[in-house]
Structure 1
């Protein structure tokens, strides 16, 4: 295994060797993080069950519109800033370097929380399938450790290998969900009702919780810029992949969740979601499409989780690489494999974090009364919802960064792209963030506040504050490093 050290920025030597990704590849990376089958089986049914609101399909269209507005400024700035650190670089160049460092640590924490949290659902699902199909009782953390190893292998190899694997898995996910949608409209026990798409079904008490649950379904769409340095044409690839992903995710989730209300019946969807949870889809497919189709869907549910894990792993590895390259964190984390250009050290760091957290939760849950559900109730629920909170906060801050960037630099961009859309994006994402905070107990499945209610948000806020303070210290004590913050391949450390 050939690993290249990061001294004097040799970590990113041979950038053309890394430019392998086109629009479809980046788009698959984005959609894989969103995990379509996981969202439909887990996220949509949970939203129906917890909120009792039937207007969930309309909420995806609404959230898609919000994120499309955000994407206008985000995509415009991506044409001028190409950095594997994405949010970090945008905030550093649009607001200030210290705030950029703070944003980078929030991003690192948020992506790690999303990635490691999904392992909880993966472990529970695989363990449950082994018991149901083979009669083999395997603790949830064993399939998680096996999965971590598989993700690690993809993480240190060529990024286009990950893209090909994810493309295949995402394509199969879409296929099985489309079959479910068609069967739902064909069965339609109460007829094809448009009730779930009416504003009256969404704008009711509980809309805040619906939007809070729904925004998590889109997380990962913003990661296109992370692959800018590995894209064949970053000035076009990032923007096109982002727009395409937002449109596909919003329309697909809206259509599929609407199909769920039609196939189950609008009057029964909340009750059925509460009783069956993620099994709603698999039971429906088994009853109307055959046992083989149901089993295939359950297998693809597992691969859907795997695809999301690979995508978020890649995002974390590239943040480590970007920060290490600019020596904001130890430069050893900028090491890449010479033959693939993959961020080797960052990938290993993320793998180590996943192993440590998994073992910690396995030990903590070993004596729990709900040991079987522990990885879902804690590891998955706690970490993914906290990670989504952090990413929404970051997107709101990035919207302000876009305004600051174009005002300072004077690059050619329309008034809509450089000011109006980012301002609207900030206001709308700020509102979603407030809704998440207000409904955080609901997202965690709590009836009243506990220590977790306050500790988990602190996992997002504290690193951000620490990062700002670290950036201020660098400005005073390490000016050569401070000047390079957020500038990637164009920074002074790289050019010297």
Structure 2
């Protein structure tokens, strides 16, 4: 059992990472919420610093992903770098993290549509579930083209927003206070770092499509390039927002719903920009769902193919003549349906509870996995590194990434209450790190069970691409 080969170009890989991060969602939700919650005026500089940290962390991750060619990237990386038990633990954490982020978006989508058109949020979420589920079992080519189209329009709208901001600055001139390092020495910086980390989650998605890539070596360029490009886009958008309303007033404006950020600024270019941006925001949420859905489907498929999950989940379909992970896709759709249904029955706030809590859980989990992947890169045996292993990819960058990433993770965990909108004092926000820890432990225990009960399965954990091809050379080639 294998996925279709040679279907994704380097640009196609980049599209999946960038679409998962969703620039329109970061502009309309992330940047506004960060200003309002943390009151950090140096948010543009914070985005650049976090982008640099994530980019360095991604070096070891992409080096391992390129060498292994495993669709369940973190699972394969840790299995080969730290041991099979660590690999299974990482696979379980990745499934929880990616599912959490993907499912959280149904709350955001449902609430947004209900506010615009009326009706119950869970009805709109159900419609999105059906759309993403159908797309998920189709060929990757179709998904990539849809993601690319929405991402292109999203970036154009962000560019228009920046032009609208700088065209009419609040102070009569451009202010560069957003890049002043003194603005980092404030009480809300930990929360700002945590929000910025969450904005970059999804850029690691190309690692899960390595089996379908035309060129394995492009995974690193797509992932790190995505971090660099999106880091620049987010920093520029955050700076422009400060310019539009004034660095000293941006926190108050962001916290005031009547200010209408960022759409009120777009209205300066013409009234039709606002409905266009709102429409694209909705499509951006759906394409982000689809990107994360595709990653989860590949994790389920790859882990089932190696016997870690039930073998039936490794089923592939031949939609549009190219194999797709049908079993993994249906599993993810079923999981999301159960979670959405549970939140709906509980009467939970789709944004304040469902979106906020699940997206925070996912972001924290993926940051932990990036850190673990860097450690695995440093400890990987020579057979994994290959004959031309460079010190930067396998030693220096991972070490720097672990140092910087550990600081960022500590800030994120320490400020998890800010991400959740919780008042200072209660301990319940730390339930999220506990979930991730428990998941890793369960994964390790399951690996031990496989070692004892299925000795034929255990040695194959993390082995990667099989020798047989589902499709010798894919007929359909993505963009």
TM-score by length of 2: 0.94
Offset at 1:108? 0.1
Q: Which runs of 5+ in 1 are unaligned?
A: 1-10, 131-136, 369-373
Does the 8 Å contact 2:44/2:238 carry over to 1?
Answer: yes
TM-score (norm 1): 0.91
2:288 & 2:105 partners in 1: Cα distance?
A: 8
Alignment of 1:164-313 (within 5 A): 164-190=145-171, 191-234=173-216, 236-276=217-257, 279-286=260-267, 288-313=268-293
Change in CA separation of 1:167 and 1:176 when aligned onto 2, cut-off 3 Å: same
- Asked if 2 retains the 8 angstrom alpha-carbon contact of 1:189 and 1:264, the reply is yes
In the TM superposition, what whole-angstrom CA distance separates every residue of 1:327-350 from its partner, at most 9, and x where no partner exists? 101011110103331100111111
Q: Secondary structure at the match of 1:217?
A: helix
Aligned match for 1:405, one of 354, 357, 380? 380
Which string of whole-angstrom CA distances, capped at 9 and with x for unpartnered residues, describes residues 350-371 of structure 1?
A: 1111111111111111xx7xxx
2:46 to 59, 83, 102: 59
Alignment partner, residue 147 of structure 1: 128
Deviation at 1:426, TM superposition (A): 1.2
**Distance 1:181-1:313 versus aligned 2 partners, 3 A rule:** same
CA distance in 2: counterparts of 1:278 and 1:202, whole angstroms: 25
1:433 positional shift:
1.2
Query: Any residues of structure 2 matched to 1:387-402 within 5 Å, and which?
Result: 387-402=362-377
Deviations 1:98-146 (A, max 9, x none): 010000000000000000011111111111111xxxxxx3011111100
Is the contact between residue 76 and residue 413 of structure 1 (CA under 8 Å) also seen in structure 2? no
Residue 304 of structure 2 is aligned to residue 324 of structure 1 = yes
- 8 Å contact from structure 1 (residues 114, 384) kept in 2: yes
Please tell me the root mean square deviation across aligned C-alpha atoms, in Å.
1.7
Separation of aligned partners in 2, 1:406 and 1:467: 23
Partner of 2:422, secondary structure, is: coil
Separation of aligned partners in 1, 2:50 and 2:309: 35
Alignment of 1:471 onto 2:447: yes
Alpha-carbon offset, residue 458 of structure 1: 2.7
Deviating above 3 A after TM superposition, structure 1's stretches of 4 or more consecutive aligned residues are 406-410, 448-452
Aligned to 2:475: none
Structure 2 spans left out of the alignment, 5+ residues: 471-479
Q: Which residue does 2:476 correspond to in 1?
A: none
Q: 1:80 to 1:405 in 2, by over 3 A?
A: same
Name the SS for the 2:457 alignment partner: helix
Query: For the Cα contact (< 8 Å) 1:42–1:278, is it kept in 2?
Result: no
Please report how far the alpha carbon of residue 472 of structure 1 lies from its aligned counterpart in structure 2 after TM superposition: 1.6
Among residues 487, 490, 493, which one is paired with 2:463 in the alignment?
Answer: 487
Residues 431 and 399 of structure 1, relative CA distance in 2, 3 Å threshold = same
Distance 1:419 1:230 in 2: 28
**Secondary structure of the residue that 1:300 maps to in structure 2?**
helix
**Does the 8 Å contact 1:173/1:304 carry over to 2?**
yes
Report the Cα offset of residue 278 of structure 1. Answer: 9.3
CA distance in 1, matches of 2:73, 2:467: 15
Are 2:364 and 1:384 equivalent residues in the alignment?
A: no
Equivalence for 1:21? 8
Farther-moved stretch of structure 1 (83-92 vs 276-285): 276-285
Number of residue pairs aligned between Structure 1 and Structure 2: 465
